[in-house]
Amino acid sequence: MGAGHAGLTASRFLTESSIDHVVLERGEVANSWRRERWDSLRLLTPNWLSRLPGHRYDGPDPDGYLTMGEVVEFIERFATVARAPVRTGTTVLSVRPAGDGYHVTTSRGEIRCRAVVIASGACNQPTVPPFSTAVPASVEQTTPFDYRDPTRLADGGVLVVGASATGVQLAAELSRSGRPVTLSVGEHVRLPRLYRGRDVLWWMDASGVWDERHEEVDDLTRARRLPSPQLVGTPEHATLDLNALTAMGVELVGRWAALRDGRALFSGGLRNMFSLADLKMARLLDTFDEWARAHGGEFDSPERFPATRVPESTRLQLDLRSGEIRTIVWATGFRPDYRWLDVPVVDAKGQLRHVGGVVDGPGLYALGLPLLRRRKSTFIHGIEDDARDVIDHLARNL
Ligand SMILES: Cc1cc2nc3c(=O)[nH]c(=O)nc-3n(C[C@H](O)[C@H](O)[C@H](O)COP(=O)(O)OP(=O)(O)OC[C@H]3O[C@@H](n4cnc5c(N)ncnc54)[C@H](O)[C@@H]3O)c2cc1C
């Protein structure tokens, strides 16, 4: 299920194992990148990391970052190289157990199969807090699924909620468009774009941090909920942390905790939250330095970055009826959608119960979920190892 890079990689390995299969896709190949992303988005992973089995970026700018159009082309080419039997425009409406396999109802008919690989994505819907329904009607609300570019927003102030990759990128873009931007910051992951002369993701890759396996992680549930890093892919290789946003004039406030009588109430304690993110970043950079000492190589000297600046005074509330804020952008994360799955394998939080992609139902598998088998599981370059393991299991099971 799903013709994103995960489903297509599964298809490639199924073909290699001579297993008859079909890839069902409700839209087109790379549908999420075509329909659910904003216009200016580029990958935050450098081009040299765009690698899938038997297909990798081979253009003139390995250190650059693909635009959405380029990502779509890259994945489309992979579908061709992998000779994936994709049926586009075919929505899976239900999957239910039948005999020693599954009965799949699609918008184009019924299918019987022995196994199902769920590669329908981890980010099918934006997550928005329930209190959003009580936001005064005078304030427009949008999510990264609907947002395309700043010109489509009402003139005036914007409150961006969430300071992970999406939130910091949209806050920067909206601030550059001339709007006053307030950013509500919760737990976040700070990273510099470049470290010791290399892309910080080069260090993640080389040092093996991304290869850490699900069995080795102490608190897997928590690790699977880790927010995406504050990174942006730009030709300038710019760092986009909170200090960069403050320098642009973005106002930082705490986590949006509640909404009362039309007032957004923010948590205090920014200082602690910033120190925690600074500390975690420093620990990760220590890991990279240790790796560099052990392995040698030509690198710039170790660097440490200035602490995240705490604003002199932070607002703890904002009256949404005052007209100061015209739009709220919810950059509060994404979640999968399993409403079509008629198998009791989804927990109370809406997450699939699985161990390393082997779902708690015979012949049912998953790919592309956070830390499915490794820290790199949701990234394009992370799918190859996971898909090989999962399809091996599936083949043995059949
Ligand atoms: C904003 C954003 C930025 C990201 N940036 C990067 C990055 O820089 N680098 C990186 O490596 N990763 C990045 N990712 C993470 C990841 O690579 C993407 O989320 C990627 O799209 C996941 O691929 P996938 O194949 O698992 O899922 P998807 O690409 O979402 O593919 C799932 C497919 O399943 C289809 N589908 C869903 N439900 C049904 C159904 N019921 N019936 C039929 N078909 C269905 C969908 O239409 C879709 O085509 C980013 C993610 C987001 C959200």
Rounded Cα distance, 337 and 349, in Å: 11
Mean pLDDT of the chain: 97
Q: What average pLDDT does the segment 280-295 reach?
A: 97
Q: From atom 33 of ligand 1, which residue's Cα is the shortest distance away?
A: 2
For ligand 1, is residue 341 a contact (CB within 6 Å)? no
- Side-chain half-sphere exposure of 386, counting CA atoms within 13 A: 36
Instruction: Evaluate if residue 235 carries a pLDDT over 90.
Output: yes
Q: What average pLDDT does the segment 67-90 reach?
A: 98
- Per cent of the chain over pLDDT 90 is 99
For ligand 1, is residue 92 a contact (CB within 6 Å)? yes
Whole-number pLDDT of residue 274: 98
- Per cent of the chain over pLDDT 70 is 100
Q: How does pLDDT run across 373-387, given as a tens digit for each residue? A: 999 999 999 999 999
For ligand 1, is residue 24 a contact (CB within 6 Å)? yes
Residue 119 CA to ligand 1 centre (angstroms) = 9
Q: From atom 8 of ligand 1, which residue's Cα is the shortest distance away?
A: 43
Whole-number pLDDT of residue 96: 98
Q: CA separation (Å) from 257 to 54, 80, 140, 227, 248?
A: 47, 47, 19, 18, 25
pTM: 0.97
Rounded Cα distance, 57 and 71, in Å: 10
Which one-letter DSSP state was computed for residue 352?
B
Q: Which stretch of DSSP H or E encloses residue 50?
A: none
**What pLDDT band is residue 367 in, cutting at 50, 70 and 90?**
very high
In degrees and rounded to multiples of 5, residue 331 shows phi and psi of: -110, 50
**What pLDDT band is residue 348 in, cutting at 50, 70 and 90?**
very high
For ligand 1, is residue 75 a contact (CB within 6 Å)? no
116-118 and 364-366 beta bridge pairing: parallel
5-16 vs 68-81: helix axis angle to the nearest 10? Answer: 10
For ligand 1, is residue 9 a contact (CB within 6 Å)? no
Q: What average pLDDT does the segment 265-269 reach?
A: 95
For ligand 1, is residue 26 a contact (CB within 6 Å)? yes
Residue 5 CA to ligand 1 centre (angstroms) = 7
- The ligand 1 atom at the shortest distance from the C-alpha of residue 381 is 11
**What pLDDT band is residue 264 in, cutting at 50, 70 and 90?**
very high
Whole-number pLDDT of residue 118: 98
Hey, which of 120, 334, 367, 374 would you mutate to test ligand 1's pocket, going by the most ligand atoms within 8 Å of its Cβ? Answer: 120
Whole-number pLDDT of residue 192: 98
Dig out the tokens for 340 from the structure. 């079509």
Dig out the tokens for 193 from the structure. 């774009």
Residue 4 CA to ligand 1 centre (angstroms) = 6
Instruction: Evaluate if residue 88 carries a pLDDT over 90.
Output: yes
Q: What average pLDDT does the segment 171-195 reach?
A: 98
In degrees and rounded to multiples of 5, residue 150 shows phi and psi of: -60, -30
Instruction: Evaluate if residue 361 carries a pLDDT over 90.
Output: no
Rounded Cα distance, 191 and 229, in Å: 6
Q: Are 155 and 179 in contact (CB under 8 A)?
A: yes
**DSSP assignment of 197-238, as one string?**
TEEHHHHHHHTTGGG-BGGG-SSHHHHHTPPPEE----TT--
For ligand 1, is residue 25 a contact (CB within 6 Å)? yes
| Tokens 């799949």 found at | 104
For ligand 1, is residue 43 a contact (CB within 6 Å)? yes
For ligand 1, is residue 383 a contact (CB within 6 Å)? no
For ligand 1, is residue 2 a contact (CB within 6 Å)? yes
Hey, which of 378, 383, 384, 385 would you mutate to test ligand 1's pocket, going by the most ligand atoms within 8 Å of its Cβ? Answer: 378
